[in-house]
Structure 1
């Protein structure tokens, strides 16, 4: 069953995805608006402390992706805010589904650009350098990687988690 909260979250994520696709970034003021909307909802539900804890947990968990260069700073903030909005164990399935959607989009991009094999070799070398502790690989990021709009992966992951599973 679709609740009012699900519709509001979906609408806000659609607006966020539109901003991300158009400007290739999500403004900080919009992140503040999303955080405040979630905080107001949490106060009304008498779960403000839980909201803050889940926001910080989502933020710190997703920061790993930022530090290895996989996602941008706005995506980290969006994942943290979404973790606060969801506030239950389904966060893990939502994050996993979002990552699978991102991997599928990246795979489709590689096949479409006809550079699948060379990208796999480059990605393998990048991961080996990361595990060997070479900071140059971490600082430079994955060479030649074309960024994707991760907020659409977050939106699709949310829809799959809420309406399919």
Structure 2
């Protein structure tokens, strides 16, 4: 788990500086996670790692599809989930997204944009209910500066796991 923390720290630096997580970092995390699980649990470790990664990606796919999460974020969630016991993955996702939501609320408060963002979100859902179709968030509303970097919440969630919170 030490290597996972180092990888996530690097991912945080990349995400906050460049607003992207390099595929090479995600691939390195995946290889190390697979090898670590295989070392600890034998061949079944590969299946467990893949199962955890696929579960996380499948659960987050809709958020990616409508543009709420970037591909790098989904890949980071997936490879990180592969390191965890299967029964902890939902808690990992929950705490990561809860931390991201808290950061978002603080950011909206600081920017005094809470009302505008809630109006946009409610309009988005009104249109969804009216048309019955998902659509991408507007690029204007979802540009690189309006979102938050999710590597930080993922890292904090893993620290909470290692600290025994879940």
Task: Name the TM-score, length of structure 1 as normaliser.
Answer: 0.87
1:31 aligns with 2:29: no
Sort the Cα spacing of 1:80 and 1:114 in 2 relative to 1 into closer, same or farther, 3 A: same
Partner residue in 2 for 1:105: 103
In the other structure, the counterpart of 1:116 is 114
Return 5+ residue gaps in structure 2 as ranges. none
- 1:19–1:25 contact (8 Å) kept in structure 2: yes
Change (3 A) 1:69 1:131: farther
- Quick check: 1:123–1:142 contact (8 Å CA) kept in 2? no
Give 1:16's match in structure 2, choosing from 11, 14, 28: 11
Aligned to 2:123: 125
Give 2:58's aligned residue. 60
How far apart are the structure 2 equivalents of 1:143 and 1:122? Answer: 11
Task: Output the CA distance in 2 between the equivalents of 1:141 and 1:87.
Answer: 37
Taking the aligned partners of 1:42 and 1:164, their CA distance within structure 2 comes to 20
RMSD: 1.8
TM-score by length of 2: 0.87
